[in-house]
Amino acid sequence: MTYSEAEVERWDREWLNYLFREYVQQLTPYTAYPDRPALPEDPLAMIDVALGERAPLLVYAQGSAIRDRFVMEFGCGCGNLGKLIACYARTYLGIDCSRLALTVARLVSPPNATYLHVNEAAEIARFQGMVDTLVSRFFWIHQNFETGRRVLQIVAPLLKLHGRLYLDFFWPNPAEAVGFWRTDVFQIRTPRDPLDEEPSVMFQYSASDVAELFSGMPLRILHQEEHGPTQRRYVVAEKV
């Protein structure tokens, strides 16, 4: 299940680019966001919840799946989401492929947030069967079948029985996309396509693609919906 050094370096380079463009956002610590607005039960309403002017959650999940729960994020990057939702969670665990991003995440997040590199298998295994909720933000849009299944194989043992997964797949709808989500995408791939030299290439998932991704996994799809304004297919699943 380990990620190669080439894969790690690939994402370290990508995060260097993000830091160059967005260093203010990436390096701002959790203490700069003292607001604690209520978390709604409607997952679509959660997307618009903001902890301050420059800190929208942009995550699809129910509030009760985060409040006082053990929350995990795979593909946590520099902790942009972790530093915001850890303040609501009982425990937050972030896992990423980029050592550079994890270094930043540890600096900007509250004490109840733990960050591990994906290759730290023994440390990750300590949390087997403990995770209530897996959340994601801008992660599954970049995964093909190969990488997506590899992630699910890592995540599934960590979830409690009936633990929930809230996943964000790319489903282009430029005619309805609004604001922040109205981005130009020059290369769209199917999940059967190989990874690209560009780490942030987008993979488009249909409902049947999601079912194929989950095939053979101890996971059951509970709900999925296409959401034009964010160009996403949101999926809720549980461990069975």
What does the pLDDT average to over 186-206? 85
pLDDT for 1 equals 64
pLDDT in tens, 77-105: 999 999 999 999 999 999 999 999 999 99
pLDDT in tens, 154-170: 999 999 999 999 999 99
- Joined together, the tokens standing for residue 21 give 């463009």
Taking 80 as the threshold, does the pLDDT of residue 184 lie above it?
A: no
Q: Given pLDDT bands bounded at 50, 70 and 90, which one contains residue 185?
A: low
pLDDT for 144 equals 95
What does the pLDDT average to over 64-74? 98
CB contact set of 35 (below 8 Å; sequence gap of 6+):
50, 51, 52
Taking 90 as the threshold, does the pLDDT of residue 7 lie above it?
A: no
pLDDT for 230 equals 95
Q: Which residues pair with 188 in a beta bridge?
A: 202
pLDDT in tens, 31-40: 999 999 999 9
Q: Given pLDDT bands bounded at 50, 70 and 90, which one contains residue 186?
A: low
Q: Which domains are delineated in the chain?
A: 5-239 (3.40.50.150)
Q: Given pLDDT bands bounded at 50, 70 and 90, which one contains residue 201?
A: confident
pLDDT in tens, 101-128: 999 999 999 999 999 999 999 999 999 9
CA distances from 56 to 36, 115, 147, 195, 226 (A): 12, 21, 27, 29, 21
Is 33 exposed, middle or buried, given 0-12, 13-18 or 19+ CB atoms closer than 10 A? Answer: middle
